[in-house]
Structure formats: C-alpha cells, structure tokens
Chain A
Amino acid sequence: DQVLHIVPETFQQVQHLQHLCGTLLLDLWKPLLPEDIWAGEDLHIRVPAPLVQEVKDSLDQHMISYKVLIPDVQELVDQSMPRERSGHRQVPEGYVYTQYHPMEEIYQWMTQIQKSNSELVTQHYLGKTIENRTMYYLQISQPSDKTKKIIWMDCGIHAREWISPAFCQWFVKEILQNYKSDPKISRILQNLDLYVLPVLNIDGYIYSWEKERLWRKNRSPHMNGTCYGTDLNRNFNSSWGSIGVSYNCSSEIFCGSGPESEPETRAVAQFIKRKKSDILCYLTIHSYGQYILTPYGSTTKPPSNSEELMHVAEKAAAALMGKYGTSYEVGSTSSILYNNSGSSRDWAHMIGIPFSYTFELRDKGTHGFVLPPDQIQPTCEETM
C-alpha cells in the first residue's frame, strides 16, 4: 500500500480526484471527506497495493502530479508496533521461540512442555544453584523395552550467551513438534534418549537480565562478598586450574576454589558420572564464534578417537552450512581458540564419553553476545 501526496491545481483535477476516491473507494487520510478536497490544498490518499498502478496511470493521464509520501505502509506499521511481551507467557502453544525469555518464563515453559507432552517428556531435578534455585533437566524418551543410549545437551553455562538457552528451548520444541512426522527424528527417538538442560547457570542468567547484560560466571560470593562468580566452564575436573584460567575472583575466567567447587558444576558432574556408561554424546552450547569444538582445551595432544570425532563434527558443519550458508569452523579448542582447563566438554570426554562437543553458535562478532532476536530462528534452524 502507498500513500500519495497531491496538490490539485484546478477544479477539474479536484473533480477527477473525487471521482477516483469514490469509484475505487480509496482511503482518504487528508482531508477526511472527498467534498473537502480543494484546489491548492494538500491531499493524502492511501492506495491499496493492487490499485497503485491504476491510480498512478490515471493521475498521469489527467496531468495530476503526485509524490509518494509513504512507499510501504505495512513496513511503517511493523516498525512502530510495540514488541509483544505480554500475553505470550506460560503457554507453549503461544510461546514465542523467536524471542529471548527470562528465567521465570523458562521455568513455566518446562512445566508446560511436560504437561502437554507427558507421553514423551519428564522434568527432573538436577540440583540447586549457589543462590538456591532449582536446576531441572528435561528427559525426552520414547517408551521402549530396550535401554537406550543418551545424548546430553546443556545450554546457558555462561550467562551472557542468551542464544544458547534459546536454542535448547527451540530444540525441544522441534523434536516434540516433529517426532511423529519426521522420519529422522523418529528414528533418533527410537534409539536414543535426549536429556536437555535449558539453563545451567540460572543465577548468572537472571543476573544478566536484571543487572549486567554481559555477565558470564555464576554468582558465588568470594572474599567476604566483595567479589562474585566462578567461570563454570573452568570449574570441571579436567586438568583443573592448569592453564587458561585465573585464580583471581575478579577475572572472568576464575576457575573457583577447587575442581567442582560450585554447586552447579557438581549437580551436572554427579549426574553425568552416574549415567556415563549410557551416555553416547555430550553437547554443550555456547556463543559466539561459529565453531564446533572438540577436546581438548588443556592440551594439544589429540583425544584417542580424534579422527572419528572430527569426522562427525565436519559432517555436522557441512549440514549446518547447507541450510543458510553459515560457516562453522571445526577443531579442538586448543588449536582454534585458546588453551583452557576445567571445561565441561573436556571433562566429559576424559571420563569416557566418546562424543563430546562444544558448539559456539552465531555470530562471528558483529553482534557477539547481543544477538538480535531475528537471528534466533535461522541460528536454531541451521543448528538443528
């Protein structure tokens, strides 16, 4: 739809314009009524898209000059819409997966998802955070008489990486919406159980919503409450404290007072240790950078199954690229990023989980941690 600005010069022109408005039922913005159209006065008419050419031709034929005041009315309307935040709470049927959600809504979402998919989904207690919030994971499991191997995925270990929990939620939704119709997903569920922890660092995530958007660590107090936060991804028992860390609480890569010193780390580690003989694959989702990272960060010595690990990762990166052309680099953290110790992914591999990967989602730095919501869908779609 376009809005045209016309200043009629003669009485004939006024008549013609009145005729056009009347026969085509055009939307007069100024003046309100055709009888108030006068020569020498501003006229603003909204012309529906299918009639634009016809109206312009007619104006040209009658030598009536016009200017396009608004070339696309819909665009203007969209831009001025206040972002819908209310009214989409609670219900996954109305849950907006292309927006970022605060923790309260994610808790509600988990409850709802289990309720509406109870044949497949169960919500389980994992542990408590340092600020005493409850950590839950979702188990997606098709009832069967055989014991199935497990794929574990956690999101949100670093508070500021909002795209990560958004991905976990998207992932769950995709699986549940498509497991009956998509043969690949249905095969996966026949043979595997999926365990998803949508937000690992709950306290940190909440802090990044309420206080400091670029917060990374958890919220454990140190030095009498003068300094906060351990980097949970330096706190696992994999060459803990050896490289790529700081022993100073004020650093973003503070590894904590000891391996698994943090309740969040312990909650995850204890669970995974218990189930480790059944866990086939450990995935941990981060941002940003567009990488699929393999062990290790603490050493450049390759893991025992490194060929197979790389092969699978490379296939994943290729599939990912096939969707929107987004390129992800594949390799070990110690060669692509930096050296670090105490990461959850390294630890998972070291205790025997064969396939262990860190995904660093979009983008490459233009938006970094503050990825706009219009990128949630493409990021999640390609990563699926």
Chain B
Amino acid sequence: MSSNSMSDPRRQNKILRYKPPSSDSNPAMEDPTPDYMNLLGMIFSMCGLMLKLKWCAWIAVYCSFISFANSRSSEDTKQMMSSFMLSISAVVMSYLQNPQPMSPPW
C-alpha cells in the first residue's frame, strides 16, 4: 500500500521551487493588526502634537511598538521607523512645550 520502505520516495526531478503565496489569494487571512496600529499611532501622535496632549503622545509610542511587534518581515522598515520617530517626537515636543508632569485623567 504505502511506498516500499526499500525504495526512496525522493525524486530529485520532481522538485518544485517555493513560491510565496501572493497576498491576493487570501486577503482576509492576513492579520490586519500592524496596519491598524500604524494608523492609530499616526493619528495619536498628530493629536498629541496639535492639541498638546501628553497622554496621546504616550499612546502613540505604545501603538508604534505594538505595530512593530506584529509586523511581517516582508514589510519595509521605513514605515516602521517613521512611525517610531513620529511618536517619539510627539512625546518630546509635548514635554518641551509644557514640562509639567502628566496629570492622570481621574
């Protein structure tokens, strides 16, 4: 029934190269977390810069970290670095403008 243990099942001539599955094939299967987190991080850092809200800037830093942790290796690092830099600059600018410590919302 199964292949004879004596014969080698390997066939050198039947080798097929690996083809990475294209993203069109199953767009729903892909994890949307890194993209969402990237977007959220940018929105929060913009809010933090414009409205001078410190907590926004801190959440932006967290979002960019989460996005980095969930990112696929195929994604380019430029976008990751830009979101990092944006969030860190939001935090720094908020503190330069107003060095007082952040007050908790409660």
Partners in one complex: no
Question: What residues make up the interface of A, taking CB atoms closer than 8 Å to B?
Answer: none
